[in-house]
Chains A and B, each alone.
Chain A
Amino acid sequence: MTEANITSAKIAARNVDVFYGQKKAINDVSIDIDNGIVTAFIGPSGCGKSTFLRTLNRMNDTIAGARVDGQILLDGEDIYAPSMDSVALRARVGMVFQKPNPFPKSIYENIAYGPRIHGLASAKSDMDRIVENALTKAGLWEEVKDRLNDAGTALSGGQQQRLCIARAIAVSPEVILMDEPCSALDPIATARIEELIDELKESFAIVIVTHSMQQAARVSQRTAFFHLGSMVEYGETDQIFTNPRETRTKDYITGRYG
């Protein structure tokens, strides 16, 4: 056992490199992500923050030519070990995407699909409870409870994104990864999602990638700054934004580049 395995972190990444073909997209990133808080990844476009996020639930597996070196531990278990099933992993580490992507099915079906394929509900009443519970946690229940059979795609953009969050919650994950979840939304919908993220951190470890430094400052307790595929600095959000240790971090948050 290496020392990396002795950690209380929910997710522990150790010396992670990511390659797309010959190109190295992520260079030697090590980070501990804890339960009960929101961790934000910030950095300029193309810095690798989304790429790194997608290694945390092996979403990069679906991309031909992508390769991950190093170790990523979820509760001390190597998620890239041959014994780890990527399907089971993604049920434990859920994901919300940049553009709301509900299935072109009913609102109910959008939520029920995950629990059904994982066998989480044995009866219709169980499923109804899961759906209501997930929609309630995502703050969408009051708005949609009378039209659960309407198409999920007929909702507004902000509602669709909350539906996607509810869909992720419904399979009871331990971690929720969010890849710029508000970049396609207007400010009011964004504010609602941010409130939601703040509530959800009680139940899930949340990792959010964001372009907006204000958003990172508002919703997160810890922030990691990425630049050119490396993690430059990682610390308490307050410290990163008020008293960054690295010049590059300081230049970025003061708008020198980005």
Chain B
Amino acid sequence: MSKSDWNSPEAVRRLAKRHAAEKRFKFIGLAAIVLSLGFLALLLVIMLKNGLGGLDWDFLSGSDSTDASTAGVWGAAKGSLLTMLVTLLLSFPMGVLAAIYLEEFAPKKKWIEWVEVSINNLAAVPSIIFGLLGLAVFINTFQMPRSSPLVGGLTLALMTMPVIVISGRNAIKAVPPSIREAAYGIGASKVQTTFHHVLPLALPGILTGTIIGMARALGETAPLLMIGMRAFVVTPPDSLTAPSSVLPMQIFLWSDEIDKAFVQNTSAAIIVLLVFLLAMNGIAIYLRNKFEVRW
């Protein structure tokens, strides 16, 4: 093929086609982003317009009430915090230990494969089923107090753990085998190799997965319906066993009110929830950057 072939009409047409394809892809990709971000922006604008007026100290420090003007979000927010605390304390260590065991220690046996399949399935189970499980196990069998952050946290921990296990395993798998060999090579035991070398390198990935799981749990409503966290609670919970609501549930309850005045409350509560979620994602990014090891 001679050099001038690139200037033949045939070649020019082919090149033009390739450039057009590239332009087309860039446009479609950009459109996809604009469309999704557009809806998010629209949501934010509507919420801010409706809710910003209701965001004052009384709203942030008050609890639920039948009167829209005195109703506040603190009771539900505190309920959410307590519930998340239980969820985190349970699902994080359990999830990380399970991930380490499955990835580093488990024998390659048939039953381990079953465990793996089960955990993957667990992550895909609809959340309302976890609510039923929580109701049957924690409340009916173990007689724990209904509507409490304790039961809510336990139920959400069941839901969050598989997410942490899956992201944790991926993070552990991504640690190069050469690091393990290096540690074994100077006489580190398996536990030392795992906890001194593999886990620190996998931590950013594990933390990211954990916070994504926690953020999902924070926005979860359905399973909490089943364990009675939709009760009308006028005082913030003062313990893990006190009756309580959570933020998304409060939003759901207010959006159900007939009184028009609750529209503002609903929007304001959504803003509070979004701030919570943004803060959690911010923490996730901060932690990832802090623990990230550069090679």
Contacts and interface: CB of A to CB of B under 8 A. Distances in A.
A219 B176 CA distance: 30
B295 A113 contact: no
A102 B293 CA distance: 13
Contact of A99 (B178, B185, B188): B178
Nearest to B192: A117
Interface residues of B, number: 22
A97 interface: yes
Interface in B166-211: 176, 178-189, 192, 196-197, 201
A103 B188 CA distance: 13
Interface stretch (A2-10, A87-95, A231-239): A87-95
B108 interface: yes
**Which of A90, A94, A96, A170: most chain B Cβ within 10 A?**
A90
A107 B284 CA distance: 29
B260 interface: no
Contact of A117 (B107, B178, B187, B201): B187
A61 to B, nearest CB: 9
B189 A87 contact: yes
B110 interface: no
Contacts of A101: 176, 178-179, 181-182
B290 interface: no
A235 B188 CA distance: 34
A113 B186 contact: yes
Nearest to B182: A101
A70 B189 CA distance: 25
Contact of B295 (A59, A96, A104, A171): A104
Interface string A169-183: 011000000000000
Contacts of B108: 64
Query: Chain B at the A interface: mostly helix, strand, loop or mixed?
Result: helix
Interface string A75-119: 000000000000111111011110101111000000001100110
B189 A59 contact: no
Contacts of A167: 182, 186
A142 B181 CA distance: 28
A164 B178 contact: no
Interface string B140-178: 000000000000000000000000000000000000101
Contacts of A96: 185
B179 A103 contact: yes
B3 interface: no
Contacts of B188: 87, 113-114, 117
Interface string B236-261: 00000000000000000000000000
B189 to A, nearest CB: 5
A96 B176 CA distance: 16
A114 B184 CA distance: 10
B186 A97 contact: no
Nearest to B187: A91
Contact of B185 (A97, A104, A117, A118): A97
Contact of B186 (A104, A153, A168): A168
A122 interface: no
A99 to B, nearest CB: 6
Contacts of B201: 104
B178 A97 contact: yes
A62 interface: yes
B180 A104 contact: no
A151 interface: yes
Interface in B202-237: none
Given A104-B201, A104-B293, A62 B180 contact: yes
28 contacts: A59-B181, A59-B185, A64-B107, A87-B187, A87-B188, A89-B187, A91-B187, A94-B185, A97-B178, A97-B182, A101-B178, A101-B182, A102-B182, A103-B182, A103-B197, A104-B179, A104-B201, A114-B186, A114-B188, A117-B188, A117-B196, A118-B187, A153-B294, A167-B182, A167-B186, A170-B186, A171-B186, A171-B187
Interface of A: 57, 59, 62, 64, 87-92, 94-97, 99, 101-104, 113-114, 117-118, 151, 153, 164, 167-168, 170-171
Given A101-B179, A117-B186, 8 more contacts: A62-B180, A62-B181, A87-B187, A88-B187, A91-B186, A94-B185, A113-B188, A118-B187
- Nearest first, the 10 A-B pairs at minimum CB distance are A91-B187, A95-B185, A114-B186, A101-B178, A90-B187, A104-B293, A101-B182, A87-B189, A153-B295, A87-B187
